[in-house]
Chain A
Amino acid sequence: MSTAAEAAIATNRFGLGARPGELARAAPDPRGWLLAQLRGGAPAIAEGASLERSDTILNRATALREAKRDASRAGGAQGAVQRIGAWYRSLYVAEVQARFGAAVASERPFVERLVHFWANHFAVSVDKAVVLGVAGAFEREAIRPHVLGRFEDLLFAVERHPAMLLYLDNFQSVGPDSPLARRASAARRRRDLGLNENLAREILELHTLGVNGGYTQADVTSFAHMITGWSIGGGRGRLAEGESGQFHFRANLHEPGAQLLLGRRYAQSGCGQGAAALRDLARHPATADHLAGKLARHFIADDPPAAAVARVADAFRRHGGELVPVYRALVESPEAWATPLAKYKTPADYVHSAYRGLDLPVDGKRSGLTAYELLGERTWSPGSPAGWPDRAADWDGASALLKRIEWADAVGERLGDRRDAQRLAPAMLGAVLTGKTSEAIARAASGAQAITLLLTAPELMRR
């Protein structure tokens, strides 16, 4: 394959779509252009944007709820509830727009894509109301700092983050034989004290081993026991202790005693028990296979060749879960460079590549969110902890295509002749731009129509 075609793959499949000039920069050494992006830490998001920390957000939410309870005693509760909801929505909108801006402007788009990949791997979903205010903070605090580090650190940051503990209910999971449960039982108050296995199951099934990773229901239950007490400080009533809005281990909720997971015995007491298990899960061979399969699907093809998956998994194991060598194995896989346009873009991919290619300003408060919603991929709302799917069949529906066409038409109308599609098309698509598309753009009836045709071209629907 020519390096021109490889540059198109580097910028569009590994990156987020070529900005003007990017293709030319990648062309001399497409692999080197990608690997250079992996040096240094992951860039922080939107310097200057006033985004709040999750503990600040959760503390303020607690204060608002207190105010609501006071108000409710005085006879008017509804207003305060709505204020929390509206405030959470405003935080969410600002976070999405900051993330959108980073995706459009990034000069390390490979890293930005990796942030999106891992955020989707460890998905939280804002259709659960408590997640709405902290989903953005979760990505900035738990995902972004670790995407170029070790998987184990990423995993720990995620599973101990308040957003995940809230989303998958673990903050209030109580060991059936924990000090608290025993006290309550002695006092004959059995109400709402007990295990919730949601987070434990999804860690095993989605975050680490994968659904075929060889665990049983008994493993789920005992792992759920091990992470009882992994909670958030500063809640109400029995959840009041601890640094407010931060991870807090509650010994009185923790199930005592040794547990068996995947045949291994964990006799530690307290928080260290779950941590030891989580560390072993991060290093388990099945975890390497599971993650390699997902990465290869994302960067190579919907059904990636087994040899490539094996190579990536091997890099994961050999480097003890260091992620940069894993990404290097992906970049160095010949399979990744064999077929241009092998992946159908998700709606977010599609919007990012259009904004980048046309060098559109990220203006307004919610231009990104409006586009994502219209095209069917509202940020951080996959509706389930499995995250958004990553195969063409999940995204290439007829109605979905019509939405993209309608959106492209609106972009064309808005820009008119303020962008020259004929000049921009080769800078976006390079070697994968077809004669047919060039010709259609050249013959367009107007500048606006030329942009619409560029944005609807088959080459732009795929990466």
Chain B
Amino acid sequence: MNATTIDRRRFLAAAAAVPLASRLVLAHAAAAPEARFAFILLRGALDGLAAVPPCGDPAYAGLRREIAIAPPGATHGALPLDSTFALHPGLIFLQESWRAKELVVAHAVATPYRERSHFDGQDVLENGGHQPHAFATGWLNRALAALPASRAGRGREAGIALGQNVPLAMRGPAPVASWSPSRLATLDDDTLARITDLYARDPVLSVRLADALATDDVARSAAMETAQRGARYGEALRAAGAFLARDDGPQVAMLDTTGWDTHANEGGAQGQLASRLGVLDSGLRELKGALGAAWSRTVVVLATEFGRTAAVNGTRGTDHGAGTVAFVVGGAVQGGRVLADWPGLAARALRDGRDLAPTLDLRALLKGVLHDHLQVASAALDREVFPESAKALPVRDLVG
């Protein structure tokens, strides 16, 4: 693709929607480097007790038996964090981040949802309320809408979803883009112009097409063409990094991954979950690489809908549970610590006699990041972003 074609595409995109045209003009006025935020949703309920095993908890090894992660120092042992917690041995990049004081691990975390349906659990995590289907929009989009005016009006979509479609967390009043790798030959501009005209009176398709074309330009002109091909997940994270690294790029990116629902043959230091965690970890390394200098003003949060049972089940896996982990990693993070009011894994401490009891509201963590990193006002956080969440006080000092 040559520069002239890009400009013509951009023109078409602008012609398709007047509001976008004005956004594009303003884009050139972008000034000082801004904070960047990526949210990675792990769909399927990540086993927090495998990702961040509490090796120092006396009940841990007995509950987990053949899938327990051995303590640091043992063969295939976990990577040390503090006297209680360690990292799964596959999470090498995260441990490097820990040493660089760029990682906060939050444990025994959960959303307000206390049932055990994946789909409702993800809905609560994404809609930001107390109940499934409480809102048709997502907290991350409402946070974008609540960004300080100088940023919200700065002339482009402030958020991008990496995928063909926009997940619930990113749906809402603020315009967002979506992007996924394209393999097909480029369309000729005349056909695109005619399709643009065909959509002129369609309120949904006209906006979608304009957004798609604008985003496609950025992706192509970013380092995407030359980026090495790899796993789809790595590709999406590299793309996210390339988008966020641009001064005129989006401020927030969201990705989601699946495959965390480990009911059977979960494995320990090696096996099914270990290989998923390995892919996740190396993907984060790719994200950091693609962000380049922008890593220093980036915060990445990884979260999942709920955790898994404290004990191994009858099929060497774990069933749906409650408390789990969340990770806050990035150059802007004030890290090197585990954030946990640890309830313990003793039988009497388990929720319903089976699950890690949640002691930290995930929203408190997210509010801390949104407030201190993206400067979303407290009032907006308590009322619009996470309605009726005033009691979940933002976790402070996550960002350096």
A residues with a Cβ closer than 8 A to B are 127, 168-169, 172-174, 176, 190-198, 201, 205, 211, 217, 220, 374-376, 383-384, 386, 392-403, 405-407, 409-410, 436-437, 440, 444-445, 449, 452-453, 456-458, 461
Please pick, from A194, A398, A444, the residue contacting B212 in the complex, using a CB distance under 8 A: A398
Chain B residues with Cβ below 8 Å from A168 are 263
Q: Is the CB of A402 within 8 A of B216?
A: yes
Please pick, from A169, A397, A407, the residue contacting B178 in the complex, using a CB distance under 8 A: A397
Q: Is the CB of A453 within 8 A of B163?
A: no
Nearest CB of B to A345, in Å: 12
Chain B residues with Cβ below 8 Å from A220 are 116
Chain A residues with Cβ below 8 Å from B65 are 190-191
Q: Is the CB of A205 within 8 A of B117?
A: yes
Within 8 A of A (CB), among B116-140: 116-120, 132, 136
Q: Is the CB of A397 within 8 A of B201?
A: no
Nearest CB of A to B282, in Å: 19
Q: Is the CB of B166 within 8 A of A173?
A: no
B residues with a Cβ closer than 8 A to A are 43-44, 65-66, 115-120, 132, 136, 161, 163-166, 168, 171, 177-180, 182-185, 187, 190-192, 194-195, 197-199, 201-202, 204-205, 207-209, 211-213, 215-216, 258-259, 261, 263-264, 313-317, 319-320, 352
Name, among B182, B183, B208, B213, the residue most crowded by chain A CB atoms within 10 Å (CB to CB).
Answer: B208
The number of inter-chain residue pairs (CB within 8 angstroms) is 161
25 contacts between A and B (CB under 8 A): A127-B259, A194-B315, A196-B314, A198-B264, A205-B119, A211-B132, A374-B184, A376-B164, A384-B261, A397-B208, A398-B207, A398-B212, A399-B165, A399-B178, A400-B164, A400-B178, A402-B209, A403-B180, A409-B184, A440-B197, A440-B198, A444-B194, A449-B190, A456-B195, A458-B198
Q: How far is the CA of A405 from the CA of B16 in the complex (A)?
A: 15
Q: Is the CB of A400 within 8 A of B165?
A: yes
Q: Is the CB of B116 within 8 A of A217?
A: yes
Q: How far is the CA of A373 from the CA of B173 in the complex (A)?
A: 30
User: Can you name 12 extra interface pairs (CB under 8 A) apart from A397-B166, A397-B178?
Assistant: A176-B314, A195-B314, A211-B117, A217-B352, A220-B116, A384-B261, A396-B204, A399-B178, A399-B212, A400-B180, A437-B198, A453-B195
Given A192-B66, A198-B263, A374-B183, A409 and B191 contact (CB-CB distance below 8 Å)? yes
Nearest CB of A to B182, in Å: 7
Q: Is the CB of B314 within 8 A of A398?
A: no
Q: How far is the CA of A174 from the CA of B352 in the complex (A)?
A: 21
Please pick, from B116, B202, B258, the residue contacting A458 in the complex, using a CB distance under 8 A: B202
Chain A residues with Cβ below 8 Å from B164 are 375-376, 397, 399-400, 403
Q: Is the CB of A192 within 8 A of B187?
A: no
Given A205-B117, A401-B209, A445 and B44 contact (CB-CB distance below 8 Å)? no
Given A211-B120, A409-B187, A458-B199, A401 and B315 contact (CB-CB distance below 8 Å)? no
Q: How far is the CA of A453 from the CA of B195 in the complex (A)?
A: 7
Chain B residues with Cβ below 8 Å from A440 are 194, 197-198
